[in-house]
């Protein structure tokens, strides 16, 4: 029934290759099916102004798409002079999600910037960015630990994200573009490795949804997150 | 226990005054406690380019805050040269939420723009904007019906929104600023008058949350939405 | 003869309600007929860079219009990415006018920003903004005096503004939009409560004007300013 | 008493050289003392959108300053990404002033853009720009007449501008920078060759002013305008 | 003598992998040592406005760098609101270079946009972008030929680019970042497969250079271009 | 054969008038035929941030064109909100070229900004800007020497620039607009008074070029530079 022939609760193939950007403190190329995202983490030994003197650090994220990551070429945001609303919304979500898994006091007064650049898009780019972004962040935190710059681990648990939605009346896991573009309801779920919730964002795109549908999507999401966290562990 | 002395499941006082902007096709001033938002709806007899020839219309929203709506003056976005990420995120949410209650085919090839400008802020501005924005939209749709420009009602049901969160370890309804700024988990819920879900946005601000906490917040939200829909009906 | 049925020298009804924005150091909603402007004053305990160490303070102003303040919705300046020429010109005028009534040495090294946001427009918005802006400024200055932050009053006299013009060949006071949009000559006059001149801005919109016409408009303006200053006094 | 040694009612030396930009339909270099402005007029055979089908034309103006026209280098506006408030205000004044002398129906559906670029500044640049801009406009209108593109003269009379102000307590004509920067009251006056008023802009910079002072400045301005109109005639 | 241990006339390892972006009409990942650039070509069946009706097409290019392509994270241009001077200069060079190898009449009234995004930088990114961009362009042109949309080949010859410079007093081929950052003279050379020159850009960074030094660099460049053209052939 | 009737190796008439902007530390108006550029140099007693504490200074350049310097009016860059790609490329070239002739240690920790504004354009504006910009820089350096602010001359030699190209199949010196707009190959050459090379920029605009053609253009350029350096000397 799904365009890809997958089962309703079947994730796409996940692949995470680390160390792909030699200058970054942490990096990976995450592929979730045909969605490919390059993630890098940059450590800066200075907290943003609003945290100076607080003893706490910050994690932030930026998101971009290569112009031809999509089927039709999109205008380059650098050339149009501003980041579109969708970009801004996504990078705020990535930043909030990653911060929820960080002990900012253990991090100390420094900032880690996670850049997520979509090389190829086939639905679920923000979820892949969070999942891959966490791997880059993990590698950067390892560098801090190895160098003795932090004494306890600033990362409290895995953070991963997956989308679910109601496609052709059925709850399905990990929507690709063919599904996402017609789904009646669409949700993004960010969780910890232990299954605690970090972000739930559900939208009625074509039809409103009920609490029981919401529960079904959450059930699917939990399974997906478990698979993603396993892939993160395998990659590290 | 709450700074305002309210019960955990108690909304702030709701007031909706219609017809406050004489040029607009629909308008209201909504007050939810000390959060005051001016909402207006503008009908344009032309659909946006991507809908030309489709027989369908569009509803979009814009959001702003007066510089001194808040305790500390914020820089005017018109003068800083761009809308901040928070503004962009909120106005996209308002637009999606209102569209979910619209029969875009019944609306026909025209666009309604809902402007929501926060005069005074005390938490929950985006929720007040959705609730008041729907009233402005309802009044504009009435004008279309009265003028015979549409033959069936383009609005399918009420749309209203409320925030809930976990404050001092307890689930509470309709957070004001004093609560919102320290809440561990924060959620915005948009629903129809019939209780169907349109948007669920929950974020772990300080601590992750569980599925049972999520259920409690949803229960609170449903009660809040019922009160808001009643206030909408009373105002019209 | 006038569209509103007013006499040539008749002002519209003036109403000034103070304390409408609870966060601001001073605020009012001024209504001059159907022109409604929200004014707030914000005190910042720091002078702008060019005055550091001078012992003098500064008063500045910003002006905006809600998109649907007018008959046709105007594009939101925050979204178009810059303030239009008209906005810039008006806010510079408001700032200069208010400063002319301020003893900047008595104010000390602090800045007061007056925000004027037009809720509804029917001609004369810049004049209403100056008149209402001065009330907000007066309230903020009172706070400084009460708190003992200044020892002598930084405001030297009332400041108010009114428009006059030549409509259908006749000099008229306080133009509304119906008059303003067709007036041959249009002028804005800012004066002190004592009748001294602060700003005179007269433009030939359709026909040039003579010195005797200019005198007639000034006579009208003086009467209008007296009425506005009385309304300011009554509101405080 | 004046820094330049001029009498109170003495203009600086005026020089207008025409034909200085070979590509423009009309051009001149106007020098009023050490204030030097290059003015050019460009004819475009298309009216702006709001005039299409109206049978009327438009005249507009743009103003700029070379970065080192002034004593201290100013940041180039093209590089800072926007025109400052002062620039916007001035170019709107130039456009309005020149239009007041134009029969827009005689001009027909075309637009003339007058560019005024300050090469060297010593006070009064906006007045020199209007006076020189009119000469460029006159030359462009001559081209239209010679080419038979218009059948009656679109220019109704000369347009010229001069500043006056109260310097050291005395009304003086044609302020240079040394005077302008300390003048208590400052005014710009735009008039026709016949002495009718087009724009009056007076500001209290340091002290408010009375109606009798205003009359004295107007008397001075009339004499100055007569001298400028004579210089325009001599140059053509 | 070279930091990498290469001979003076030795290129870095070249690798070109095609078909890496499934949505693009042509794409490749080019690696010249540690400089990695993703190149894609997008065909648009519409020429830019200035060519409408001319029977000719256009090739243009855009260039970007991921923020962490470099040793220190650079600010994302989409977020800073504009493309820097270096970016603009480089993308104009890429566009001009590729167009020099295109028969724009054979291409017909369509546009091909070549996007070059630097994934990892180690000197010579603009040269790698031209060399890889040509491969993407070649693949897109093949699609046009296969689809019968063009009847003769719009590409006339290979286009490739290499840098040379004077490092530690010696002419060297294909500078990496360690060399480039200290080279006295630096040049970029774009040539056809047949060895004709398209662009020569030489700059004295620290010391001026002589005509005989220029000849030596050109000799090196010709050898480099031959190696790059061979790699292009091998990849296709 | 040339539109102007000049010989293949004939420069246009060169004129350099110094001291034309009284506020600048150095200035000139350079005319190369009908190409007229105003150049000024501004000394700032502060090096840019990246040089603080280095003991070295900086020379930078900005370039602009009056809107009607060209045959068709170009949009004013200050009003369009950004400098175009061509402007950015040119001002970077001017800056690099002038710096190549400067002993930045002798200059000390200060910055000289050279502004080049094209009053009238007829081809070769960037070359005229470099040649005239150097004269302004020379005059500013003289001021530093006279004031004893520097002890040895920060300028090492003359810097001048000329264009050459292949017009109608023939190498020609100093292209005017009529030639430049149709030339097959176009080059800009920047050299010292002693004939050393600073910048070589050659582009195939319509046809690729050979090394022997490149040599011929360089020969022409050397003669042109000699004439320009002589004109610089004569002007000083």
DSSP letters spanning B27-95 = EEEEEETTEEEEEEEEEESS--GGGTTSS--EEEEEEEE-TTSSSSPPPPHHHHTS--HHHHHHHHHHH
Nearest Cβ partner for C77 among B69, B70, B78: B78
Distances C167 to C129, C179, D103, E197 between C-alpha atoms, Å: 23, 6, 20, 71
Does the distance separating the beta carbons of E76 and A62 come in below 8 Å?
yes
Distance CA E179, CA E185 (A): 11
Distance CA B190, CA B163 (A): 9
**Residue B219, C-beta contacts closer than 8 angstroms, at least 6 positions apart:** none
Task: Tell whether A118 is covered by a domain.
Answer: yes
Any chains having at least 3 CB pairs less than 8 A from chain E are A, F
The per-residue DSSP string of chain C comes to --TT---TTPPPPEEEEE--STTSSEEEEEEETTEEEEEEEEEESS--GGGTTSS--EEEEEEEE-GGGSSSPPPPHHHHTS--HHHHHHHHHHHHHHHTTB-HHHH-S-EEEEEEEEEE-SS-HHHHHHHHHHHHHHHHHHHHHHTTS-SS-SB-S-EEEEEEEEETTEEEES--HHHHTT-SEEEEEEEETTS-EEEEEEEESSS-B-HHHHHHHHHHHHHHHHHHHHHHHHH-
Q: Sorting pLDDT into bands at 50, 70 and 90, what band is F56?
A: very high
Of the candidates A120, A196, A123, A118, the one whose C-alpha atom is nearest the C-alpha of residue A165 is A123
Any idea what the CATH number is for the domain that residue C138 is in?
3.30.230.70
Nearest Cβ partner for A67 among E66, E81, E115: E115
**What pLDDT sits at residue D70?**
96
Distance CA E79, CA A64 (A): 10
B125 annotated to a ligand binding site: yes
Distance CA F45, CA B124 (A): 52
Characterize A189-215 residue by residue with b for buried, 16 or more Cβ atoms within 10 angstroms of its Cβ, and e for exposed: bbbbbeebbbbbbbbbbeebbeeebbe
Any chains having at least 3 CB pairs less than 8 A from chain F are D, E
Checking if the pLDDT of D82 tops 90, the result is: no
Interface A-E, measured as beta-carbon pairs within 8 A, has a size of 90
**Is E182 near chain A, with CB under 8 Å?**
no
Q: CA of E96, closest CA in chain A: separation in Å?
A: 18
**What pLDDT sits at residue A28?**
98
**What pLDDT sits at residue E175?**
97
**Is C192 near chain D, with CB under 8 Å?**
yes
Q: CA of F209, closest CA in chain D: separation in Å?
A: 33
- CB < 8 Å to D66, chain F: 21, 38, 40, 64, 115, 117
Q: Return the half-sphere exposure (C-beta side, CA atoms, 13 A cut-off) of residue E216.
A: 17
Q: CA of B69, closest CA in chain C: separation in Å?
A: 7
Task: Tell whether D9 is covered by a domain.
Answer: no
Nearest Cβ partner for A200 among B196, B198, B214: B214
**Number of C-beta neighbours around residue C202 at 10 A:** 25
- Sheet arrangement for strand A14-18: A14-18, A26-32, A35-44, A111-120, A58-65
What average pLDDT score do residues F196-224 get?
94
**What pLDDT sits at residue B207?**
83
Task: Name the percent of chain F lying above pLDDT 70.
Answer: 100
Of the candidates A28, A115, A45, B95, the one whose C-alpha atom is nearest the C-alpha of residue E78 is A115
Distances B192 to B95, B101, B198, C178, E71 between C-alpha atoms, Å: 15, 7, 7, 42, 52
Q: Which one of B73, B85, B95, B143 would you mutate to disrupt binding with C, by most C Cβ within 10 Å of its Cβ?
A: B73
**What pLDDT sits at residue E184?**
86
Does the distance separating the beta carbons of B73 and C113 come in below 8 Å?
yes
**What pLDDT sits at residue E207?**
83
**Is B53 near chain A, with CB under 8 Å?**
no
**What pLDDT sits at residue B81?**
80
Q: Which residues pair with E170 in a beta bridge?
A: E167
Checking if the pLDDT of B58 tops 90, the result is: yes
What's the predicted TM-score (pTM) here? 0.90
**What pLDDT sits at residue F80?**
83
- CB < 8 Å to B28, chain C: none
**What pLDDT sits at residue D198?**
97
Does the distance separating the beta carbons of F201 and E201 come in below 8 Å?
yes
Q: Sorting pLDDT into bands at 50, 70 and 90, what band is E80?
A: confident
Instruction: Calculate the CA dihedral of residues F116, F118, F124, F128 and round it to 10 degrees.
Output: -40
Does the distance separating the beta carbons of E68 and A27 come in below 8 Å?
yes
- CB < 8 Å to F81, chain D: 81-82
Of the candidates D61, C40, A135, A93, the one whose C-alpha atom is nearest the C-alpha of residue B67 is C40
Q: Return the half-sphere exposure (C-beta side, CA atoms, 13 A cut-off) of residue B37.
A: 30
Does the distance separating the beta carbons of B196 and A208 come in below 8 Å?
yes
**What pLDDT sits at residue A79?**
87
A36: three-class secondary structure by DSSP: strand
Tokens 């450590």 identify what position? A43
Name the token pair of A43: 């450590």
**What pLDDT sits at residue B205?**
79
Task: Tell whether E2 is covered by a domain.
Answer: no
Low-confidence ranges of chain A (pLDDT < 50): none
Of the candidates A140, A138, A173, the one whose C-alpha atom is nearest the C-alpha of residue A158 is A138
**What pLDDT sits at residue F206?**
75
Checking if the pLDDT of C217 tops 80, the result is: yes
Nearest Cβ partner for E88 among F89, F201, F204: F89
Nearest Cβ partner for E68 among A42, A79, A82: A42
Q: Sorting pLDDT into bands at 50, 70 and 90, what band is B53?
A: very high
Does the distance separating the beta carbons of F77 and D119 come in below 8 Å?
no
Distance CA B168, CA C229 (A): 51
Contact between E119 and E36 under an 8 Å Cβ cutoff? The reply is yes
Q: Give the ranges where D113-210 is alpha helix by DSSP (H).
A: 125-146, 177-180
Checking if the pLDDT of D96 tops 90, the result is: yes
Q: Which residues pair with E44 in a beta bridge?
A: E111
pLDDT digits (tens, 9 = 90+) for B134-176: 999 999 999 999 999 999 999 999 999 999 999 999 999 999 9
Distance CA A214, CA A10 (A): 18
What average pLDDT score do residues D114-131 get?
98
F6 annotated to a ligand binding site: no
Q: Which one of A21, A23, A111 would you mutate to disrupt binding with E, by most E Cβ within 10 Å of its Cβ?
A: A23
Checking if the pLDDT of C9 tops 90, the result is: yes
Give the count of domains, chain E: 1
Contact between E133 and E61 under an 8 Å Cβ cutoff? The reply is yes
Characterize F70-91 residue by residue with b for buried, 16 or more Cβ atoms within 10 angstroms of its Cβ, and e for exposed: beebeebbbbebbbebebbbbb
**Is A221 near chain B, with CB under 8 Å?**
no
Distance CA D60, CA A161 (A): 56
**What pLDDT sits at residue C36?**
98
Q: Sorting pLDDT into bands at 50, 70 and 90, what band is B79?
A: confident
Any chains having at least 3 CB pairs less than 8 A from chain B are A, C
Checking if the pLDDT of B128 tops 90, the result is: yes
Q: Which one of F24, F35, F68 would you mutate to disrupt binding with D, by most D Cβ within 10 Å of its Cβ?
A: F68
Nearest Cβ partner for B64 among C34, C78, C113: C78
Residue-averaged pLDDT of chain D: 96
Any chains having at least 3 CB pairs less than 8 A from chain D are C, F
Q: Which one of B21, B22, B23 would you mutate to disrupt binding with C, by most C Cβ within 10 Å of its Cβ?
A: B23
**Which of the pair, F81 or E198, is modelled with greater confidence?**
E198
D 74-133 residues inside an 8 A Cβ radius of F: 76-79, 81-83, 87, 113, 115, 117, 119-120
User: Taken in order D93, D96, D100, D102, is the CA torsion positive or negative?
Assistant: positive
Nearest Cβ partner for F68 among D23, D71, D120: D23
**What pLDDT sits at residue A82?**
84
What average pLDDT score do residues B179-205 get?
94
- ipTM greater than 0.85: yes
F127: three-class secondary structure by DSSP: helix
**What pLDDT sits at residue D178?**
96
Name the token pair of D90: 């001035």
**Residue C212, C-beta contacts closer than 8 angstroms, at least 6 positions apart:** none
Task: Tell whether F228 is covered by a domain.
Answer: yes
Distance CA B85, CA B108 (A): 32
Cα angle at C215 between C210 and C218, to 5 degrees?
A: 125
What average pLDDT score do residues C137-159 get?
97
Name the token pair of C24: 């601001």
**What pLDDT sits at residue C128?**
98
Contact between D2 and D172 under an 8 Å Cβ cutoff? The reply is yes
- Segments forming the whole domain that contains residue F52: 14-235
Task: Tell whether C6 is covered by a domain.
Answer: no
Q: Sorting pLDDT into bands at 50, 70 and 90, what band is E81?
A: confident
């Amino acid at each position: 029934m799904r365009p890809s022939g997958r089962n309703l609760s079947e994730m796409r193939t996940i692949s995470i290759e680390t160390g792909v950007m030699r200058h970054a403190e942490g990096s990976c190329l995450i592929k979730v099916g045909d969605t490919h995202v390059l993630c890098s983490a940059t450590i800066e030994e200075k907290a943003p102004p609003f945290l100076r003197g607080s003893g706490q650090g910050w994690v932030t994220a930026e998101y971009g798409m290569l112009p031809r990551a999509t089927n039709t070429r999109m205008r380059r945001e650098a050339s149009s002079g501003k980041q579109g609303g969708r970009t801004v919304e996504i990078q705020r979500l990535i930043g909030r999600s990653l911060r929820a898994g960080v002990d900012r006091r253990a991090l100390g007064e420094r900032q880690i910037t996670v850049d997520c650049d979509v090389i190829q898009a086939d639905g679920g780019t923000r979820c892949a960015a969070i999942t891959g972004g966490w791997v880059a962040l993990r590698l950067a935190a390892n560098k801090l630990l190895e160098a003795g710059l932090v004494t306890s681990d600033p990362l409290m648990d895995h953070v991963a994200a997956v989308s679910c939605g109601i496609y052709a009346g059925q709850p399905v896991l990990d929507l690709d573009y063919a599904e996402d573009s017609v789904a009646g309801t669409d949700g993004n779920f960010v969780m910890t490795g232990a299954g605690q919730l970090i972000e739930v964002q559900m939208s009625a795109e074509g039809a409103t949804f009920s609490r029981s549908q919401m529960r079904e999507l959450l059930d699917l999401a939990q399974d997906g997150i478990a698979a993603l966290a396993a892939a993160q562990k395998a990659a590290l």
